[in-house]
């Protein structure tokens, strides 16, 4: 009895679900991603062989070759809270709640507190061309506690502790694992041609603010063989 030959057919794969999934992923990343704020100053720090990573959360003081100081707080909640305290301390003009919220993502700033409201009123494209003259800090030992950089460090130290305790308590209530290493740490990043006495002035400010530990951010070079 002859065998029954089954008709042959070319297999086909419906790609419609794959295309839909790809567009969904693209849309998700477009809506959830945020652009990195442009830095007001580009520094070329001295290099070292250390492989210690930059902390997850950091209060960073950047020093350019002119000795100007720029401040960045990578925790937006702490950054906006510290800004409110700075405005109150230096009696700065008021800001809208939206501008204060946006300040948490503007990146490093080298401004006097009184300049920040005017700076935040600018469009994001205009902020990149705004001339920053640095956060004021006084070299005289008797005036360190009156300078703005001191209060940025002092308030950040307090709010970093408060933020850590809030997150720790929230993790406990939700019965979630808590990362104890995720704590705001202090760091200095100076240009390789920055004058040493200016860096020493910054260190003195941190010392007066009772910051006992800080890191120096450097470039990575190969270890000697």
| Residue matched to tokens 């042959």 | 8
Q: Which residues pair with 190 in a beta bridge?
A: 63
Rg (CA), the chain: 25
Q: Which residues pair with 63 in a beta bridge?
A: 69, 190
The answer to whether 19 touches 167, Cβ cutoff 8 Å, is no
The answer to whether 207 touches 214, Cβ cutoff 8 Å, is no
The predicted pLDDT at position 47 comes to 57
Sort 147 into a burial class: Cβ within 10 Å, 0-12 / 13-18 / 19+.
Answer: buried
- Map residue 26 onto helix, strand or coil: helix
The answer to whether 199 touches 190, Cβ cutoff 8 Å, is yes
Give the closest residue to 134 by CA, choosing from 184, 198, 38: 198
Q: Where are the domains of the chain?
A: 47-220
Q: State how far the alpha carbon of 198 is from the alpha carbons of 66, 137, 190, in Å.
A: 9, 10, 10
Distance separating alpha carbons of residues 72 and 109, to the nearest angstrom: 7
Question: What confidence tens digit (pLDDT) does each residue in 57-114 have?
Answer: 899 999 999 999 999 999 999 999 999 999 999 988 888 899 999 999 898 999 999 9
- Which residues of 76-224 form beta strands (DSSP E)? 185-190, 215-216, 219-220
Write 74-77 long-range contacts (CB < 8 A, 24+).
Answer: 74/184, 75/160, 75/163, 75/184, 76/104, 76/105, 77/104, 77/163
- Tens-digit pLDDT profile for the chain (225 aa)? 555 566 666 666 677 777 777 878 888 777 765 555 556 666 556 555 555 566 678 999 999 999 999 999 999 999 999 999 999 999 888 888 999 999 998 989 999 999 999 999 998 888 888 989 999 997 665 566 789 999 999 999 999 999 999 999 999 999 998 888 888 999 999 988 888 899 999 999 999 999 988 888 876 555 555
CA dihedral angle for residue 88, residue 89, residue 92, residue 97, rounded to 10 degrees: -30
Distance separating alpha carbons of residues 138 and 143, to the nearest angstrom: 6
């Amino acid at each position: 009895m002859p065998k029954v030959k089954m008709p042959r057919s070319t297999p086909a794969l419906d790609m419609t679900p794959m295309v839909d999934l790809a567009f969904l992923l693209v849309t998700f990343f477009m809506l959830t991603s945020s652009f990195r704020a442009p830095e007001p100053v580009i520094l070329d720090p001295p290099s070292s062989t250390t492989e210690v990573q930059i902390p997850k959360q950091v209060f960073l003081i950047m020093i350019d070759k002119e000795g100007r100081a720029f401040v960045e707080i990578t925790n937006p909640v702490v950054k906006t809270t510290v800004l409110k305290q700075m405005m109150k301390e230096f009696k700065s003009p008021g800001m809208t709640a939206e501008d204060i919220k946006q300040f948490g993502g503007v990146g490093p700033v080298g401004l006097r507190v009184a300049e920040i409201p005017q700076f935040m009123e600018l469009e994001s494209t205009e902020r990149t061309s705004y001339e920053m003259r640095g956060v004021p800090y006084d070299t005289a030992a008797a005036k360190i506690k009156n300078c703005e950089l001191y209060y940025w460090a002092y308030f950040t130290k307090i709010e970093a502790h408060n933020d850590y305790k809030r997150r720790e308590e929230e993790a406990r209530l939700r019965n979630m694992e808590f990362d104890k290493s995720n704590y705001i740490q202090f760091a200095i990043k100076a240009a390789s041609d920055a004058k040493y006495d200016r860096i020493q002035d910054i260190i003195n400010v941190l010392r007066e603010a009772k910051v006992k530990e800080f890191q120096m951010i450097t470039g990575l070079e190969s270890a000697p063989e």
